[in-house]
Amino acid sequence: MNAPAQPPRGFGLARQEEVYLAGVRGRKPAVPVAAAKLEARARRHMSRRTYAYVAGGAGLEGTIDANRAAFDRLRIVPRSLRDVSARDTSVDLFSRRLDSPLLLAPIGVLELAHRDADLAVARAASAEGVPMIFSNQASVAMERCAAALGDAPHWFQLYWSTSNELVESLVRRAEACGCEAIVATLDTTLFGWRPRDLDLAFLPFALGRGIAQYTSDPVFIRLAEERAREPQETGPITLGAVRSLVELAHRYPGAFFTNLRSPLPRAAVRLFLQIYSRPSLTWDDLAFLRGLTRLPILLKGILDPRDARTALEHGVDGLVVSNHGGRQVDGAIASIDALPNIVEAADGAVPVLLDSGIRGGADVFKALALGARAVLLGRPYVYGLAIAGESGVREVLRNMRAELDLTMGLAGCASVAEITADALAD
């Protein structure tokens, strides 16, 4: 990993100095530091459909609000006079020591935010030494991102397809391109009810966006070719239908005119929509995944301690407490509220990670205090990507890490091990 080394006075001070000195020369950060401003600026760089897709959630979006409200309710109680001149934000996670307890959450369809999409994120992850979790709905095939990451850590997030043959192929490819863990996302066996996207009648996958892991997969391609040989249903030819066809022909791998004439792209999209997830999945299916790979397996979307205990019985290696950023179940428990019971259920046997609602370094601190080993950063890095591509993602990561470093110091903690539940008010 070629991550920047920890500066002697700590990451937070170095980052402040960088920003304030640039200010003396008359330059303000192009990527806003304040979370609300970051989102507002990113919105100006996004189409209506993209912003709705990224920012939106399920139903009345009560879960999105709950994620933030729960973080806000938790209060840090800073301690005094504890020599915090040297601070260490590093943590151990599986076989790696990470400079900070941050990972990049798997986020699909990043091409909506920026044309360099996952590749820009991979370059930023590598430069900042932050592990990237490749989304199963990525816009760029995992092999290309892995090449951009070099030996920087990367994991693969799996949506469990109805085709076990495809699941196996995806896992084999993840192993071959150096992924160090498999994250099976459990909370998306059905797609959440998302009014913002429904009102715009926008599903990116239906236009061939965010399906690069599939269209680069030998098993998927074979299945799509078989499908393309079957008689095709054709709907009414409207202007919208022609536009969508042209967009699909542009997106699909290969030459535009060949794609336009070929039934394959449309067959691939239809096939994808049918097989990308499996609502019939049960705990018994985990044995298949366990039997496929020796890589650590994490389950993402765990919110109930009973599920955490069952997961451990099935030999999983880690849990990600997540409500998918409020995109799946409206009115769900906030991830940070679910965390303490899951940590108790895991009882130190496996690392517990958390996402959903992390917007600043103080949120990371709170999650660590409640027992998370590390957190996954979601929407904020997509906003950085939309504003400034690779450097936008880097800025967001650097700010998050700087704020964590300073919050630790100001709360009286010199290392992550010192961040415990008694750093929070009862």
Ligand X SMILES: Cc1cc2nc3c(=O)[nH]c(=O)nc-3n(C[C@H](O)[C@H](O)[C@H](O)COP(=O)(O)O)c2cc1C
Residue 353, phi then psi, degrees to nearest 5: -110, 165
Strands (E), 188-338: 297-302, 318-321
Q: Is there binding between residue 384 and ligand X (CB under 6 A)?
A: no
Q: Is 209 in the site for ligand X (CB under 6 A)?
A: no
Neighbour tally for 178: CB within 10 Å: 17
Of 379, 394, 398, 401, the one binding ligand X (CB under 6 A) is 379
Q: What angle do CA 340, 96, 126 make, to 5 degrees?
A: 105
Q: How many CA atoms lie within 13 A of 193 on its CB side?
A: 6
Using the minimum distance from each CB to ligand X, give the nearer residue, 157 or 215.
157
User: By rule CB under 6 A, what count of residues binds ligand X?
Assistant: 22
Smallest distance from ligand X to CB 228, Å: 25
Contact status: 325 vs ligand X (CB under 6 A): yes
Q: Is 123 a binder of ligand X (CB under 6 A)?
A: no
Give 54 or 416: the residue with its C-beta nearer to ligand X: 54
Instruction: Give 58 or 84: the residue with its C-beta nearer to ligand X.
Output: 58
Q: How far is the CB of 211 from ligand X (least distance, A)?
A: 11
Query: In 3D, which of 186, 379, 191, 378 has the Cα closest to residue 301?
Result: 186
Query: Which of 70, 84, 93, 105 touches ligand X by CB under 6 A?
Result: 105
Q: Which residues pair with 196 in a beta bridge?
A: none
Tell me which of 31, 54, 297, 345 binds ligand X, using CB under 6 A: 54
Residue 378 in the binding site for ligand X (CB under 6 A): yes
Which one from 114, 250, 314, 324 is the annotated catalytic residue?
A: 324
Residue among 424, 190, 167 nearest 301 (CA): 190
- Binding status of residue 50 toward ligand X by CB under 6 A: no
φ, ψ (nearest 5 deg) of residue 145: -65, -40
- To the query of whether residue 154 is one of the catalytic residues in this protein, the response is no
CA–CA–CA angle 279, 216, 125 (5° rounding):
90
Q: Which string of DSSP letters, residue by residue, matches 172-222?
A: HHHHHTT---EEEE-TTSS----HHHHHTT--GGGGTTT-HHHHT-HHHHH
Least distance in angstroms from the C-beta of 378 to ligand X: 2
- Residue whose C-beta lies closest to ligand X: 378
Q: Which DSSP state fits 32? A: -
∠ Cα 4 318 179 (to 5°): 55
Q: How many CA atoms lie within 13 A of 282 on its CB side?
A: 2
x/- contact string, 326-345, with ligand X (CB under 6 A)?
A: -x------------------
The piece of 284-292, 319-327, 345-353, 407-415 that touches ligand X (CB under 6 A) is 319-327
Q: Does 300 bind ligand X (CB under 6 A)?
A: yes
- Are 421 and 370 a contacting pair, CB within 8 Å? yes
Q: What minimum distance in Å lies between the beta carbon of 118 and ligand X?
A: 11
Q: Does 169 bind ligand X (CB under 6 A)?
A: no
- Give the residues across from 76 on adjacent strands: 424
Q: Using CB under 6 A, pick the residue from 171, 269, 358, 413 that binds ligand X.
A: 358
CB of 323 to ligand X, least distance (A): 8
Q: Would you tell me which residues interact with ligand X (CB under 6 A)?
A: 53-54, 105-108, 135-137, 157, 185, 300, 322, 324-325, 327, 355-358, 378-379
Q: Which residues does the annotation mark as catalytic? A: 324
